[in-house]
Chains A and B, each alone.
Chain A
């Protein structure tokens, strides 16, 4: 049983009932009390009426992965009562609306019945208010049950209601009613509760999509095109929100341009047009959008046009699970489009990296003149994460890559010893020099095309030239491997020959799992991938370990496949740990998967 500042509380509610903002306020209050917190919104692909859940893990130790085993269930949705109650750990608490009293089938839990509907019907006349304040009543009851600081909650509510201040009093009245009822009818606080702590210094609570949108503003992106698709929509909206704040000139002009395109094909087309013309351009999408954008990605790859694509992954295949998380697009993005293609991928692990890797993505796209995909997912993108606050180094200069100015074009042959050719490798890094339309009256114009071309951008059907050009583009990938972010490596035991490779949103679950394994007597070295192509560090790590677990959220072990093909790691070395049920990974999953291999007898006994 969990205890002070260490528990999981889950809210089971109905979509569209206004519970989301109340639940967010609950989590934010815990956060502002200085306790590390991790909320996960488990929502349906629906606007109103279907069940939705909000899981909040409270962990003073700082573990922010999702954890199975619910200590407190706030069951507000009769549709899901049976399953919700079953999820409670023995000794857990069930909070429910007892306006319609129920008999519960479990004797190993404590039931806290709050007649919420009855209270709300008595106090508020308006039907919408009755509905909305229900949520604040249970939050109020929780402040008593969990010993939460009401002053802190009030601050959170006030911030949430900025611009609608007159609603503050009514909301706090609802909180007070719930609080009083709990105090009068139950022994408060429960043994499981919160207490002011010191674990959130330097942290913020933010979604990855908003962070990435802000990151694109900081990276200097000025052209954005997108098409609404869950779970990526809030990224473009985040960009717009922050651009509106930071990019509007004194005379009201906007130093950015956003188009909501007619579909994903157009969205990437617009971004490519912008990149071709020298603006930092991007789009954001999810699974089905990647399929639709594939043809254009091949064009940008072959014609060598910088563009950034944020892929906020969700459960596939096909429409799959639009509101559940996953990492199922690794292969489809790494090799997006027909023909021989290969793309640069970045793997942020949290909103802080969604912000910082945005600048990396635009730098890499322009340096390498190719699409760069930022592989986030629904968990990072749409959940509030407790994450390191954003930091920006003002000394950082954007890398705009090899773009020739008017003067550089005129002096090119003199300086480089060769006349300029759009696709000519002058520097030996396989990256040619590009020009932008309108640069020079007579020099530097060329024809961008998806058809085969020679080093001077001229159409060709000569197979030898074609092979030469695609070989050079492949070599560009070697250059990419020297430029992409290096992995995060954690050597817990230099003598240990067993390693674990992971990436993206699984970071909290893996780090926590590795801690547990260490307690189990298993020390593992780990490497978190931040990018594809794989850097030398990744190859070295694979060479240094005999057995490597590869942790990912897809059925087909896609990162393992990539390691086999692109890093030439022998397949029997790589053991998959796969979770693809659409929920964020838990530390226990990591721990058990590893133990089943390394301590089969013990693992069986434990299960």
Chain B
């Protein structure tokens, strides 16, 4: 909880990024989640990604719904405005915030209950609207705060801690996002920083709806041996579609060399690139149907396909549809938005 304050002092030799900020400047308050929670690893990855990208924290808005995952924004980016809204409604609040100011980075944090159940409608429509945001689901297959009930992403084969069977089929949010037209869809694992950090960076750089489903085991309620959302299970069945992901900054040169023919560069809107060394040669991440197939093919074999699953580099966003100006709407003075008394003469004339 936020009353547990971290010491402000830090080691003077801490490395600084291009903005002169240390890693600590991107942190939030002390986490109150359970020790070992996957969400804390994702939090750390977000901090690392933003630090490495030299993002000014005050230009980021972090929004969430309700649940363990939705508490997480308190633990990163303390210099950013945060908004812990109501259960399942982060997408609509982010939509409005984005409409008002297109100039900020929007990071939405949600959980599997928040997104796949109560907020399923809002999630799907935020995807449809191509909202320019990074949407991260911290997916643990259960409701942590209310003590471990199944969520809609829990696999049918995966029982509860007490051994009760889950009677319902799981919702695969990545397949859904691709089908609904999300421009950037990736899945990762909280325990795989090397994969997660470049994916977060690429998602933030992407213009349009970037969706990241991060398997994030619940150490308290869903980490038992029979669970398909446990650390051990995910580690053992994690089928990365790329064996290497490198995020390259807009002005940075590509220095890493890859074996000819296996490497692809994904161009992102801000000039940055994501360099991918493909492992699954059957996977074409530019084709939505193939991407869905990759997920399904792996799932059939009990594997979880992770990595960049789908990307549409020609991304558009809601503001293109709305035809709003480049400057944020919240920056236009009311006096400029008001047509004034002179215009009323013709309005009144129409109603006579």
Q: Which residues of A contact B (CB under 8 A)?
A: 31-32, 204-206, 214, 217-223, 225, 242, 246-247, 249, 252-259, 261-263, 265-281, 295-296, 299, 389-394, 397-398, 400, 435-442, 445-451, 458-460
Contact = CB atoms under 8 A, between A and B. Distances in A.
Given A261-B125, A270-B95, A274-B99, 7 more contacts: A220-B337, A254-B325, A267-B92, A274-B97, A450-B84, A459-B2, A459-B3
Contact of B59 (A253, A265, A438): A438
Interface stretch (B75-83, B175-183, B250-258, B285-293): B75-83
Contacts of A217: 337-339
Contact of B89 (A275, A296, A439, A440): A296
Interface stretch (B187-195, B196-204, B326-334): B326-334
A270 B99 contact: yes
Contacts of A440: 58
Contacts of B84: 447-451
13 contacts: A204-B348, A253-B325, A253-B326, A255-B325, A256-B324, A265-B122, A266-B89, A272-B93, A274-B100, A281-B96, A438-B58, A445-B81, A448-B84
A389 B350 CA distance: 11
B86 A253 contact: no
B27 to A, nearest CB: 13
A272 to B, nearest CB: 6
Closest 3 CB pairs of A and B: A273-B96, A269-B92, A220-B334
Contacts of A437: 58, 61, 80-81, 97, 101, 104
A286 B330 CA distance: 27
Contact of A219 (B89, B125, B338): B338
B3 A254 contact: no
Contacts of B56: 441
Contacts of A295: 86
A410 B174 CA distance: 44
A389 B345 CA distance: 9
B80 to A, nearest CB: 6
A392 B100 CA distance: 25
Nearest to B125: A262
Contacts of A281: 96, 100
Contacts of A263: 121
Contacts of B74: 447, 459
Given A204-B351, A274-B99, A442-B58, A257 B2 contact: no
Given A218-B339, A458-B2, A254 B58 contact: no
Contacts of B319: 257
Given A273-B92, A448-B84, A257 B121 contact: no
A441 B122 contact: no
A211 B305 CA distance: 54
Contacts of A446: 81-82
B323 interface: yes
B35 interface: no
A80 to B, nearest CB: 31
B1 interface: yes
B82 A448 contact: yes
Contacts of A31: 352
A31 B85 CA distance: 50
Nearest to B341: A392
A222 B330 contact: yes
B348 A389 contact: yes
A271 B99 CA distance: 10
A438 B104 contact: yes
A214 B346 CA distance: 13
A299 B335 contact: no
B129 interface: yes
Contact of B340 (A32, A273, A299, A392): A392
A299 B92 CA distance: 14
Contacts, number: 231
Given A270-B92, A398-B335, A257 B324 contact: yes
A221 B339 CA distance: 12
B9 interface: no
Given A205-B351, A255-B329, A296 B86 contact: yes
Given A296-B89, A392-B340, A441-B58, A275 B101 contact: no
A246 B249 CA distance: 41
Nearest to B348: A389
A265 B92 contact: yes
Contacts of B58: 437-442, 445
A463 to B, nearest CB: 15
Interface in B266-323: 318-319, 322-323
Contact of A262 (B101, B121, B340): B121
Contacts of A460: 3
Contacts of B101: 277-279, 436-438
B95 A259 contact: yes
A281 to B, nearest CB: 6
Nearest to B74: A447
A445 B58 CA distance: 7
B169 interface: no
Contacts of A266: 89, 91-92, 95, 121-122, 125
B343 interface: yes
B346 to A, nearest CB: 9
Contact of A274 (B80, B96, B340): B96
A222 B86 contact: no
Given A222-B329, A276-B83, A450-B86, A252 B96 contact: no
A269 B89 contact: yes
B67 to A, nearest CB: 12
A279 B348 contact: no
B46 to A, nearest CB: 15
A433 to B, nearest CB: 14
Nearest to A225: B96
Contacts of B95: 225, 259, 266, 269-270, 273
- Scoring B89, B100, B121, B340 by chain A CB atoms within 10 A of each residue's CB, the highest score goes to B100
A141 to B, nearest CB: 26
A335 B275 CA distance: 55
B97 to A, nearest CB: 4
A214 B89 CA distance: 29
A391 B344 contact: yes
A390 B344 contact: yes
B100 A278 contact: yes
B89 A265 contact: yes
B115 interface: no
B94 interface: yes
- Scoring A242, A389, A391, A440 by chain B CB atoms within 10 A of each residue's CB, the highest score goes to A389
A442 B86 CA distance: 27
A460 B32 CA distance: 13
A445 B80 contact: yes
A240 B51 CA distance: 41
Contacts of B59: 438
A507 to B, nearest CB: 19
A432 B127 CA distance: 35
Contacts of B81: 435-438, 445-448
Given A217-B339, A219-B338, A253-B325, A273 B348 contact: no
A309 to B, nearest CB: 13
A436 B337 CA distance: 19
Given A441-B58, A459-B1, A276 B96 contact: yes
Contacts of B57: 441, 445
A109 B339 CA distance: 52
B324 A254 contact: yes
A156 to B, nearest CB: 10
Nearest to B98: A273
Interface string B51-80: 000001111010100000000011000111
